[in-house]
Structure formats: structure tokens, C-alpha cells
Structure 1
Amino acid sequence: MKRILFIIFLILLLAAVVGLPIFMRVSWHMADPKPLNIFILDKTVLNDSYQEHLSLNWVLKNQKYVKPDGGIYLEHQDYYGFFPDGLGGYTIFDLERNFAEDLEVLADEYDMVYYTDLYGIYWIEWHNQYPHIRPEAVPGRMGERSQWIYGGLTGNELAFLRSMKDRKKLIINEFNIIASPTSYGVRQAYEETFDMRWENWTGRFFNSLDTTINQDIPLWLIRNYMEQNNNQWPFKKAGIAFVRNDDKIVVLEHETHLTNELPYIHSSQAMVEEYGVAKTIRYPYWFDIISTGASNEVLAEYRIEPNSQGDSILHHWGIPKVFPAVIKNKGDYPYYYFAGDFADNPINLKSTRLKYIEKFDYFLYAPLTYERRSFFGLYYRPLVTKILDDYYREIEASGKYASTSSN
């Protein structure tokens, strides 16, 4: 009898393992598509991974947001910015050739705008990716500063945001949009437009500050620190590097200066309940330090946890221990700013066509210490999904795509 029950159990288990993905896939295909005309801008597309906006595409595909013609959003073509051809050549398709009236037409046409990464492309990383374009050139180490090819927020791109704001359309922006290489004038105009301010500091966590082990630490960061500190780089453990816009470098090392090695994002209880994000989550990548005026609400904040020595260093350089991570406009237009490289996560699109996949988040995205995939699954995905869902309900209620949705 026990043997029979065991066999039945195995059969049921096998049926669940095989049948559940099929059910999730079929459910996804049966779900209604949601037409939404989205302007995506990404200037940091080095290769065909499209990593800087792939997290957004994951959400769009999983939630079945489609273009007005019913086509799915394709990560390799449905954006503006920098387009590598995979052979060492590239094309640029952006707003720089548009006149003011063209921007107004685009603002009428698009429902929302998301500027992901505007840091851009630099010569060394481009040459290292495609060494055959100049075989005589000596390969450089990734992270060394070099000639700028393309990047930064432009006046036309800001004008387009203003037009979208005037029309009360959804705007999502994130780091890096107004830090280097964006000009000071454009940055200042952006800050005035959206009542926020970049405080001239960016930062990043490194799981090891040992330069003999961690090749991800930019050479310019190491060199500048050593030039400013008697040619010394005494760090070996994990820590956080802060970079000021004039290249001043401040480094806090775990145990030496930090009681907790990583920055944490702490979300308000209201945000947790409304957006379904993790209450507290580690953030192991690039961020910018911002402040905001009264027209915006701080939904989540970064917290740095220094010891007394680290606290003294932060205070000396005017670096706050707590600063906004996610802000939202409180007025009559929907604007969000993510103060980090939120859309840049090492994920793939294999699971996008599985409905209810979010029910398995804590199995698929265990909150590991340095894992950016965890940040995607437990924070970015639910946050952007809820923002889009709320906004789409307004679009749907307006009847704009009624004929498309019914087809």
C-alpha cells in the first residue's frame, strides 16, 4: 500500500512539475495584450545583451504591454539611442535632429517615456568589445577613462520630457541621466523642471576593494584616490566608493569604516503595501545622491551604516548617510526618479511568457548578498509593474486603444 501511495505521489509531483509551466504559459498567451506607446531612451548599449534596458523589456513582455500596432517590444530595436551593429559599427537614433514642433508631435503620440542609462559609450570599452576596428591600438582595461563617443542628456531630450510633463504623461527616469557626461546647463534645467537636485556625488558598492582581485574597480577611481592620498590604496575588504563630480574619491571599507558593507534601500510601509516591493533590500550597484523639493515624495531611501570613523569621513565630505532612492511627484503629473542603475540587471527573457511567475519570486530571486538578480525580482519588477498597471488603467479608461484591445 505504501508503495502504491508513493508511486501516486510521484505521478502527481511529476504532473505538477510538467503541468504548472504549461498552465502558466497558456495563461500568458490567453491574457489580453495592453497597448501602450512607450518612448525608451538608452545611450549605453555596448553589445547585444541590451542589459541597460532589458529589465524594462522583461516587465513589458511579461505583462503583455505591446506597441499600438500590437507588436511586442523588442529589446534590440524598440528604443532610441545607441545601436551597435555587432561588427564594430553603430548608428545613433535620437531626438537631436528634431525641431521643437517635432517634439510636440512626439509628445502627443507617446503615452509615456522611460530614460534608462544615458552614461553613454567610451572609446576603450568600445575598442575592447570590437578590437578589429583598430587592430594596431593597444587594448585598454575596462574602467579606464577614454575619449567619449556618445552619451549624456541633451536639450532636446529635456524639452521632450517637459512636453510629456505638460501633457501629464508618465515619466520614469533613473541614474545616469544628469551626472557626467550631461552638461551643467542641461542638468540644472532638469533639476528645476522636476524639483530635484543631484548633490554631485555618485557611488558604488564593491564586494572586494582588493585591486589585485577585483577588475571591476575603475582604473580612474583607483588612480584619483591614490593621487589624493599619498599614492596609497590600503583597501582589501568590501566597501563603498563615492565619486564627486570634480573627481574627488572617498572610500569606506567594511569593518574599517562600515558596520554594514552594502547600502540598503529602505522603503516606506506605504510603498511596500502599494507597490509590493521588499521592505529592505541590498543595493550592490551604481547610485547617485540626490535631494528633492516639496513637490516630490520620497518613497524609499538609501541608508549607509558607518561606524564612528566612517561617520566622521562622511560628515567631513558632506556625504549623507540617508538619501532618496525613489521619488515620486505628488502633483498632477506622474513622475518617478530612481536614484540608481535600477534597470541594469544581469537577467534574461526566458521566463517572460509565464503568467504568475511573480508568485515564485522568493524561490527564483533569493536575496543573496551581492546578487543584482535579487534586486530585479524583489524590487524593480514589482515596482515598475505596479507603476505601469496604475497608469495603464488611466489609458484604458480614456478609451484610446479600445478598438485595438478588442481585436
Structure 2
Amino acid sequence: MKEELKIYLYRLWPVLLLVVGVPLLSFLIWLLIPSKQLEVLVVDKTVRDESYREHAGLFWTLQHQKYKKKTGETYVTGRDYFGFFPNGKADYGVTKDLNGRSQDELRKLVSDSDLVYFADTYGVYEADFDDSTRDERSKKIYGGMDKADLELVRLAEEEGKVLVAEFNSIASPTPTAIRNEFENLMGLKWTGWIGRYFDELDTLVNTDIPSWMIRQYQRQHERWNLRGPGLIFIRDSGQIEAFLYQEDYGNQVPLIRTQKVNKHGFKLPEVVPYPDWFDVVMIERDYEVISYYDINPTNKGLQRLRAMGLPRFFPAAVVRHLDGGSQYYFSGDFSDLQGPFGATHFFGLPVLWKGLYVATDYTDRQSFYWNYYYPLIRQVLKKTAQEKKAG
């Protein structure tokens, strides 16, 4: 019996090494990597629950890459941001933002920061806390960019800091005057259009299409007689248009394309499908395009885009370098991710996840995170740290 047990254990040791040894080695390597100091100021007004999905991906990256505050503290997802904090009570939550702070207080916040990140300012609505009305438009509880946020953008540029903003920072419910000033400060212009991909537009098959979207389309086009994969474009004026796969465009899912060799040095997959919300913006000449959207419109689709005032390609991620700092804009809900990331303290874990989640699998949001957003934001953080050191 003892001999049989020895033989069994001998055969089992490679498995034990794989299950126990590799994770242990990965953990030890991570522990030996020195931490780095980086001050990151995050604004997220769209926090519906404790998943913190609009900035959780950013914080996972900060923790995994061992970026810490100057106090030596690790970034905590549920604490270290400005915006809305849900509490599960009748008042839904509390706000902790920049409103009411003096000019000197705002300047000190920016001066003490290396990176200012606007994850999402869309806000929270009553329907977010009521499952029975989740697909309906409802009363706003809190949200939208305001004057204090604008001042943060202005001071970040003045102080030579790195600023990142992504969808939705300036679309509804941000007031037009605030949006216009943000566009002037950032050197970009929103076309007024946002879009989203649906893998099935037949409402009998896909019950996740919001009711308000269907009613809005029916008011303008009489019937929602849409079938198959498609893109829905919505303008701030209320205009709504549907692009059908193969009839109006050729890439079933919008693709984010990145040149393999680019002058800004970002190493990203050349093609990644993106099936979520995006906005269409125009950028000034001093911006460099990191990545762009490509829906491959047909001749009919191209004519429709032109009639809507939209270009053939849409910017997805752009950057411009100013005196001492940089401004980034991500035209998509890139950091939005709900689900398990895995423990942050294992070296090489992103490589493992990237191998498990194939870039072409657009049905799993994790795939987009590990193949595009994580390497993008990791490189932004690295470049920010290098700019800080050089400065």
C-alpha cells in the first residue's frame, strides 16, 4: 500500500507543482517588485452599486502595477474617487465631489495629482435602483459634468498634468454650456452622436433593447422592423438611426484598429471588436490617433454617415501633448467592467487572462478589458510616471 501511495504521489507532483508552485512563485515575484508612487485623482459619478464598474478596471491596474499614493497607501476602489457613493438606503447614496471647494482647494488637488481621470459623469437615476424600470428613462438623482469639473480640467492643463476623459464625460446630462467649454479646453468637438452595437435587433429575440429606444425609433420611422445585428445611432437632438449589418456596414461588430507601428509607441492589438457605447468626436490637428473605430460602411452606409455629418472612421483613443502634460480622450465606455478580475498580487496574471480571453470574442466584456483596455491604461500610467520623473 505504501508503494502504491508513493507511485501515486510521484505521478501527482507535476500537478501539485502547477497548482501550488506556479501561483506561489508568481506571488513571490509580485512581492519583490518595488512599488511606485503616483497620485491619481478619479471622478466617477456613475456608481450604481458596490461593483464600481466604471472605475474598477482602472483601480485593478493601479493595484496590480503597485502604484501607491504618496502616503504609501494602496488605492481602494470604493474610497479613492470623487462622485457618487451608494448606500442602499432610501436616499440611494451620498455625493462626494468637487462642488463647494474653493479655487485654492481645487488647485491644491490638481497640484498634488499626477493624473486626473474622468471615468464617467453620466450619473445615477432612479431606475438604476429599481429592476422593474431598468430599461426606462427615469429621474436623475445625480450626474453631469459641472463647473467644478471644468475647473479641474483647466487647472490640469495649466499645471501640466496628465488628464484622461472617456465616454460618457460630456454627453447627456451635461449642460450644453459646460460641454462647449470642456470641448474648448480639450481641443475636441462632439458631433452629438452616440452609438451602440446590438447582436440582434429583433425585439422578440433580444429583450435587452431599452423600451425608450424602441419608442423613439418608432416615433421617427413608424415601425421597429429591424432584424439581425446592427448599430443604433442616437443624436443629442433626439434623432435616431439604425445601421444594419451587410446592408449599411460590413464589420458585424465595430472594430478598434491600432497601427502596429505608431509614433506614440503604444503596443496594442491591431484589431479588437468593441460592442458597447461610444461617441463620435472630431479632434484638433495636434491630437495623435492611438486607435480608431472602423465599421466598414457600404456605399449606402457611407452616404448615410455623410448625411448625418459623420466621418468614415471615428477616433477611439487619442492623445495630445501639451507643455509638461498630456490630454487623452477615449471615445468609448472602455473602463466599464463588471465581474471578477482575479487577485491583483500575482505577477503575470494579465498575460494569463489575455491568453484565455481571445480578442475576437466580443460577447465577453472581459476579453475587451484584457486585450485592449488593460494594456492601454497600463501604458498611460507608465508614460505618466515617466513624465513625472522627467519633470
Q: Which category of TM-score, normalised to the shorter sequence, fits these structures?
A: over 0.9
Alignment partner of 1:388 is 2:391: no
Alpha-carbon offset, residue 124 of structure 1 = 1.8
- Among 186, 190, 212, the alignment partner of 2:182 is 190
The amino acid that maps onto 1:41 is V
Alignment partner of 1:20 is 2:11: no
Stretch deviating more after TM superposition (68-77 or 45-54): 68-77
Partners of 1:273 and 1:378 lie apart in 2 by 19
Residue of structure 1 equivalent to 2:366:
373
Partners of 1:78 and 1:123 lie apart in 2 by 24
Q: Identify unmatched segments of 5+ residues in structure 1.
A: 129-138, 399-407
Residue of structure 2 equivalent to 1:92:
95
Aligned 1:213-228 pairs, distance under 5 A:
213-228=205-220
Structure 1 residues 63-89: Cα deviation after superposition (integer angstroms, max 9, x where no partner): 011122111111111111000012343
Alpha-carbon offset, residue 383 of structure 1 = 0.9
Partners of 1:366 and 1:33 lie apart in 2 by 30
Residue of structure 2 equivalent to 1:208:
200
Alpha-carbon offset, residue 20 of structure 1 = 1.2
Question: Is the 8 Å Cα contact of residues 178 and 187 (structure 1) preserved in structure 2?
Answer: yes
Partners of 1:9 and 1:327 lie apart in 2 by 53
- Among 145, 150, 155, the alignment partner of 1:163 is 155
Structure 1 residues 307-362: Cα deviation after superposition (integer angstroms, max 9, x where no partner): 33333332332232311111101333211110000100234242321112233244
Give the RMSD, CA atoms, in angstroms.
2.1
- Among 321, 325, 328, the alignment partner of 2:312 is 321
Alpha-carbon offset, residue 109 of structure 1 = 1.8
Partners of 1:202 and 1:273 lie apart in 2 by 27
Question: Is the 8 Å Cα contact of residues 272 and 278 (structure 1) preserved in structure 2?
Answer: no
The amino acid that maps onto 2:63 is K
Alignment partner of 1:242 is 2:245: no
- Closer, same or farther: CA 36–314 of 1 in aligned 2, 3 Å: same
Partners of 1:346 and 1:254 lie apart in 2 by 28
Q: Identify unmatched segments of 5+ residues in structure 2.
A: 1-5
Alpha-carbon offset, residue 115 of structure 1 = 0.5
Question: Is the 8 Å Cα contact of residues 48 and 86 (structure 1) preserved in structure 2?
Answer: no
Aligned 1:123-142 pairs, distance under 5 A:
123-128=126-131, 139-140=132-133, 142=134
Partners of 1:55 and 1:272 lie apart in 2 by 26
- Closer, same or farther: CA 201–18 of 1 in aligned 2, 3 Å: same
Q: How many pairs does the alignment contain?
A: 383
Partners of 1:237 and 1:253 lie apart in 2 by 7
- Closer, same or farther: CA 208–48 of 1 in aligned 2, 3 Å: same
Question: Is the 8 Å Cα contact of residues 300 and 326 (structure 1) preserved in structure 2?
Answer: yes
Alpha-carbon offset, residue 289 of structure 1 = 0.1
Report sequence identity in percent.
33
Residue of structure 2 equivalent to 1:401:
none
Partners of 1:8 and 1:308 lie apart in 2 by 66
Partners of 1:334 and 1:316 lie apart in 2 by 34
- Closer, same or farther: CA 226–389 of 1 in aligned 2, 3 Å: same
Alpha-carbon offset, residue 257 of structure 1 = 2.5
Question: Is the 8 Å Cα contact of residues 272 and 279 (structure 1) preserved in structure 2?
Answer: no
Q: Give the TM-score, by structure 1 length.
A: 0.89
- Closer, same or farther: CA 53–183 of 1 in aligned 2, 3 Å: same
- What secondary structure, in the 3-state scheme, does the structure 1 residue paired with 2:54 have? helix
Residue of structure 2 equivalent to 1:117:
120
Runs of 4+ in 1 over 6 A off after TM superposition: 4-9
Residue of structure 1 equivalent to 2:3:
none
Partners of 2:362 and 2:382 lie apart in 1 by 30
